[in-house]
Chains A and B, each alone.
Chain A
Amino acid sequence: MAEEILRLEKVCKAYNVGLPTETEVLHDIDLEVDRGEFVALIGPSGSGKSTLLNIVGLLDRPTSGRLTIKGHDIASLGDTELTHLRGHTIGFIFQSHLLISAFTAKENVMMPLLVDRGFPSPEIEAQAGKLLDQVGLSKFAGHLASNMSGGQQQRVAVARALAMNPDLVLADEPTGNLDTKSAEAVFELMKEVNRTVGTSFLLVTHNLDLAKRCDRIIEVVDGRIRT
Chain B
Amino acid sequence: MNRWLPFEWIAAVRLLREGRLQTLFIIGGIAIGVAVIVFMSAMLAGLEANFIKRVLTSQPQIQLLTPDQVARPLRNGPGVIEDAIVQRPSQRVISIDQWPKIRNQMLAMPEITAVSPTISGSALAIRGDASRAVTLSGVEPESYFNIVRVPDYIVAGEPRLTSENIIIGVELAKDLGAVVGDKLNVQAASGANRVLTVTGLVDLGNKGVNQRAAYVALRTAQSLLGMIGGVTTIDITVKDIYAAEDIAQRIQAANLVKADSWIKTNAQFFVAVRAQETSNTLIRVFVAMSVAFGIAAVLIVSVIQRSKEIGILRAMGTSRGQILRVFLLQGGLLGFVGSLFGAALGAGALIYWHAVQRQADGSELFPLILERRLFVLTALLATVTGLLAATAPALRAAKLDPVVAIRG
Instruction: Name A residues whose Cβ lies closer than 8 Å to a Cβ of B.
Output: 50, 54, 57, 59-60, 79-80, 83-84, 86-88, 91-92, 94, 98, 100-103, 107, 110-112, 114-116, 118-122, 125, 160, 164
Contact = CB atoms under 8 A, between A and B. Distances in A.
Interface string B306-342: 0011011111111110100000000000000000000
Nearest to B402: A59
A111 B313 contact: yes
Contacts of B5: 119-120
Interface stretch (B13-21, B102-110, B377-385): B13-21
A107 B406 contact: no
A87 B314 CA distance: 9
B6 A119 contact: yes
Nearest to A98: B312
Interface of B: 1-7, 10, 14-15, 17-18, 308-309, 311-320, 322, 402-403, 406-407
Contacts, number: 79
A92 B315 contact: yes
B380 to A, nearest CB: 27
A119 B3 contact: yes
Given A112-B316, A114-B7, 15 more contacts: A59-B403, A87-B316, A92-B316, A98-B309, A98-B406, A100-B312, A102-B15, A102-B18, A111-B316, A114-B10, A115-B7, A118-B7, A119-B4, A120-B10, A164-B317
Which DSSP category, helix, strand, loop or mixed, fits chain B's interface?
Answer: helix
Given A120-B1, A120-B3, A54 B403 contact: yes
A86 B315 contact: yes
A87 B402 CA distance: 13
A111 B11 CA distance: 10
Nearest to A112: B316
A79 B318 CA distance: 11
A118 to B, nearest CB: 5
A94 to B, nearest CB: 6
A116 B6 CA distance: 11
B1 A60 contact: no
Contacts of B1: 107, 110, 120, 125
Nearest to A50: B407
Contacts of B17: 102
A74 to B, nearest CB: 15
Contact of B319 (A57, A60, A83): A83
A90 B2 CA distance: 27
Contacts of A100: 309, 312-313
A164 B6 CA distance: 18
Given A60-B403, A103-B14, A118-B6, A98 B308 contact: yes
A115 B322 contact: yes
Contact of A94 (B4, B6, B312): B312
Contact of A59 (B2, B308, B315): B315
B316 A101 contact: no
A84 B317 contact: yes
A98 B406 CA distance: 9
